[in-house]
Amino acid sequence: MSKTDDLAQQRSRAAESREKCADWKALLERIPYAQHLGLQVQCGDAVVLVYLPCNETLIGNFMLPALHGGVVGALIELTARVAAQSRDTEKRCPRIIDSHINYLRSAKARSTFARAEIVRQGRRSSLVSVTCWQGEESKPIASGQVQLLLPTIAAEQEELHDS
């Protein structure tokens, strides 16, 4: 590959990342609980992350101290939601069906980062895998898989009918 091709590809990747970054920020801002926790979007050259600055209300064990398991759960679930909704061409708001989270290391009272990987996104559902870390990305504190349902017109009509 020539240098100009390389450069063009880098530029397009950066543009894609900027677009994704703005998208994620807008989606997070519309989630009241994400705002309450203080979730933020952090944009790199090639990767978009969700970032949770530490504050006292997130503590689950003040003796250690450590983050509450539910805070890590929320970071994973909300990151998965934003990733799935951003990927959807129609920007449909997904509903979380289930989540399974494994805690790998103790979550200290410090800033936490989350990266989402979409395992598979279909027309009706999405499976997102999220990894969280604090200091080094190679030492994750938790990882989780979240199944989401993307609403279809048929489902929406059914809901209207029910109510």
Instruction: List residues binding another protein (CB under 8 A).
Output: 30-33, 35-36, 56-64, 67-71, 73-74, 77-78, 93, 95-103, 106
Task: Give 1 or 154: the residue with its C-beta nearer to another protein.
Answer: 154
Q: Do the beta carbons of residue 114 and residue 76 sit within 8 Å?
A: yes
CB of 121 to another protein, least distance (A): 19
Cβ nearer to another protein, comparing 10 with 33: 33
Name the minimum Å distance from CB 146 to another protein: 9
CB of 76 to another protein, least distance (A): 9
CB of 123 to another protein, least distance (A): 21
**What is the phi/psi pair of residue 123, to 5°?**
-75, -35
Q: Which CB atom, from 3 or from 62, has the smaller least distance to another protein?
A: 62
Q: How far apart are CA 117 and CA 83, in angstroms?
A: 8
Closer residue to another protein, CB minimum distance, 95 or 139: 95
Instruction: Find the Cα–Cα–Cα–Cα dihedral 8, 13, 18, 21, rounded to 10°.
Output: 180
Q: How many CB atoms lie within 10 A of CB 155?
A: 13
Helices in the chain by DSSP H: which ranges? Answer: 3-29, 32-37, 69-87, 153-162
